[in-house]
Amino acid sequence: MVSEISARELSDKLNSPTPPVLIDVREPQEFSIANIRTGQLKPLGQIMTWVNELDPQTEIVLYCHSGRRSAQATAFLKSRGFNKVFNLRGGIDAWSTQVDPSVPRY
């Protein structure tokens, strides 16, 4: 089971002095519809390309539309020695309903 964080917990962390790295694992067309402003687009299908760009010691939160793809990415990073990696429970949909209703739902 992967470590998860709620949308509200993520909001608090993003507003802290040391926010986590936020990675959106969706596809570019999804990112263009809705995104969390500090999120970096790194599609799940390209994870073997971008995983080596990340610091395993940094706190990282991954998200997608509903949390399924980002859970896969979180599990993969855990298997590669990332210990401070979390999945956004409910994905950007939860972010939109619980934190920022200006983010479109789709």
Model confidence pLDDT, tens digit, residues 28-67: 999 999 999 999 999 999 999 999 999 999 999 999 999 9
Active site residue 64: yes
Residue 9, C-beta contacts closer than 8 angstroms, at least 6 positions apart? none
End-to-end CA distance of the chain: 27
Instruction: Identify the active-site residue in 61, 64, 71, 99.
Output: 64
Q: How far is it, in rounded angstroms, from Cα 11 to Cα 57?
A: 21
Average pLDDT estimate for 79-105: 97
**What homologous superfamily is domain 4-98 in, according to CATH?**
Rhodanese-like domain (3.40.250.10)
Check pLDDT > 90 for residue 92: yes
The pLDDT of residue 1? 80
